[in-house]
Structures are given as C-alpha cells and as structure tokens.
C-alpha cells in the first residue's frame, strides 16, 4: 500500500459473511488483539508485514499468548493481487470457526477468501457468491487475478478436484489453475463441458494439461486472466501471483513465438484455428475488473 507511514490501520470493522462463522474486516489496530482473540478461533491475515507495522496495525503473533490454540494463517499478498489456487484450498482446510479474514481495507484480497469459503461450504455458484460477497463486504473483488483464481476454484469444485489440489500440488504450482481456466474457455469453442474437460486433463494429463505446462514454463505464475474475445483466447500477463505492484519490474518481453506455439497446440486439441493473444501489462497497470 502506498504511503502506509501516513495511513493508519482502519481498525476492526466486522462484516459477517455468516454470523458467528466467517467475518471480513479491514486491518485491526494495535490494542484490538484481545477482542479478536475473544471472538475468533482462526485469524487469516493477507497483509504483508509492512501493512501491519507501518500503519500501526495489530500483531497477529500476539494472539496465541491471549488464546492458546488459536490458529493464525498469515499469507502476505501484495495489494490488488490474489492468492494462488492451491493456497486457497490449503487455507480453507485449516479453518476452525469462527474465522476472521482481513487484508488492509478488507476488500479485494479478503473477498477472494470469503467467496471461496462460501462456494466450498455451501456449494454456491460463482455468480451468486460474487453478488453476495460484494453486498456483505461493501466492495468485493477488484482485479483480474482475484476473479481468475475464483473461476478456477469454482471449476475445480464442480469437477470434484479440490481434495486432489490439497493433497497433490504445491502452493506455487500454476499448472492446476491454468488447466481449469483453459477448460472453462476452450470448452466454449469446442462445444464441450468445462467440468468434463477439467476432469480429463487432471486424470489423463491430456492436451490441455500440456498447454497449461507450456504457459507455466514460459510465464511462471504471471497469468492474471484467460478469457475469450471474439473467438480468440486472450491471455493477460501481469506481475507474479502474490507480489506487490511496487516490488515488480517491467519485463519488456514479447510473446509472438509463444502465441504461435499455443495456437498449434490448441488446434491439435480442438481441431479448430484459435487465435491466441498474449497481452502483457506493466506492474503499475493494475488489471481492474
């Protein structure tokens, strides 16, 4: 967050997603630790240490002294960015209710975890979940990587792949997310079922899996969005997942050769000519929704 040294933590302002089960809040302040410990069994901070320290925010490490057994999940994520898909699954598995989730403003980053929890616990659809989260948090999602990881999560849930994500994959492996996003988009062109495409890719390591591996090997975890635009597959590239825009550098790379390789691979899978456009964005060019 810019100019944190002159920006005070907003303080504990609870927005219950489900009463006495899951709440979202902006950054609590120093002195609010006892209230937090008295109300919650799990606390998730998505803020880097700088957001805690420079804004006079609370110290999550103090909570176990006040409440032995409280679960602290500290996953630093840069402002406007998102957690990885596998990390979300692993976080949800550690929840012991009631749960408090916060970032600095209690908006985009926190809304991602709250939305994933709703889909996981109540098996809600993605559209209705996003609508409710926006209402309950008063802000909701903000950027492309936040929406993309939830699209992947939604497809994994419907394909019954969440348990496999938890057990088999590292939190920094982008391949599962890329497979799920490709399945959602390619199925529209191929006239197939995205859930079926995802299951085949995971079980058989089919063509979509190879495309996802190609993306991961070439771009690492920098894909912020995969969408269709006029029958073309558009791959948006931003900063690495979890990174803060101010800490990332411009790449200046061109991806013409990679686009051609991906087009060739997709033609073998679908039998159709699919134009692939890779659109890099500078770190300060935040991909807002």
- CB proximity list for 131: less than 8 A, separation 6 or greater: none
- Average pLDDT of the residues of the chain: 96
Instruction: For residues 67 and 2, give the distance between their C-alpha atoms in angstroms, rounded to a whole number.
Output: 33
Write the class of the CATH domain 4-142: alpha beta
Per residue in 3-38, pLDDT (tens digit) is 444 589 999 999 999 999 999 999 999 999 999 999
Per residue in 209-245, pLDDT (tens digit) is 999 999 999 999 999 999 999 889 999 999 999 999 9
CA 84 to chain CA centroid, nearest Å? 5
Domain map (residue ranges) of the chain: 4-142, 173-280
pLDDT of residue 190: 86
Instruction: For residues 98 and 35, give the distance between their C-alpha atoms in angstroms, rounded to a whole number.
Output: 13
| Reported confidence tier of residue 269, pLDDT bands at 50, 70, 90 | very high
Question: Is 137 in contact with 111 (CB distance < 8 Å)?
Answer: yes
pLDDT of residue 198: 98
Per residue in 159-171, pLDDT (tens digit) is 999 999 999 999 9
Instruction: For residues 59 and 174, give the distance between their C-alpha atoms in angstroms, rounded to a whole number.
Output: 31
Q: Is 201 exposed, middle or buried (0-12, 13-18, 19+ CB in 10 A)?
A: buried
Average pLDDT over residues 258-265: 98
Average pLDDT over residues 258-274: 96
| Residue 1: pLDDT over 70 | no
Two tokens at 33?
Answer: 């630790």
Q: Peptide bond before 13: cis, by omega within 30 degrees of 0?
A: no
Average pLDDT over residues 55-73: 97
| Residue 145: pLDDT over 70 | yes
């Amino acid at each position: 967050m810019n100019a944190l040294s002159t920006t005070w933590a907003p303080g504990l302002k609870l927005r219950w997603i489900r009463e006495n089960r899951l709440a979202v809040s902006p950054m609590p302040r120093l002195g609010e630790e006892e209230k937090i410990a008295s109300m919650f069994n799990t606390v998730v901070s998505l803020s880097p240490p700088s957001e805690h320290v420079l804004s006079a925010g609370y110290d999550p490490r103090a909570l176990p002294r006040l409440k032995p057994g409280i679960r602290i999940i500290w996953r630093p994520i840069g402002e406007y960015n998102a957690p990885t898909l596998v990390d979300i699954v692993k976080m949800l598995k550690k929840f012991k209710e009631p749960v408090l989730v916060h970032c600095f403003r209690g908006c985009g980053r926190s809304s991602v975890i709250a939305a994933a929890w709703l889909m996981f616990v109540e098996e809600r659809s993605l559209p209705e979940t996003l609508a409710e989260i926006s209402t309950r948090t008063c802000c909701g999602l903000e950027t492309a990587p936040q929406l993309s990881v939830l699209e992947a999560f939604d497809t994994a849930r419907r394909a019954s792949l969440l348990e496999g994500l938890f057990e088999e994959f590292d939190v920094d492996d982008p391949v599962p997310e890329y497979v799920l996003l490709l399945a959602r988009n390619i199925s529209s062109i191929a006239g197939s079922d995205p859930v079926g495409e995802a299951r085949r890719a995971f079980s058989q390591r089919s063509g979509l899996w190879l495309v996802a591996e190609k993306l991961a090997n070439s771009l690492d975890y920098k894909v912020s969005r995969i969408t269709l635009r006029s029958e073309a597959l558009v791959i948006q590239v931003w900063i690495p997942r979890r990174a803060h825009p101010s800490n990332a550098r411009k790449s200046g790379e061109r991806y013409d050769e990679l686009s051609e390789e991906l087009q060739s691979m997709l033609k073998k899978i679908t039998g159709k000519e699919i134009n692939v456009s890779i659109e890099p964005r500078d770190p300060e060019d935040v991909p807002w929704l």
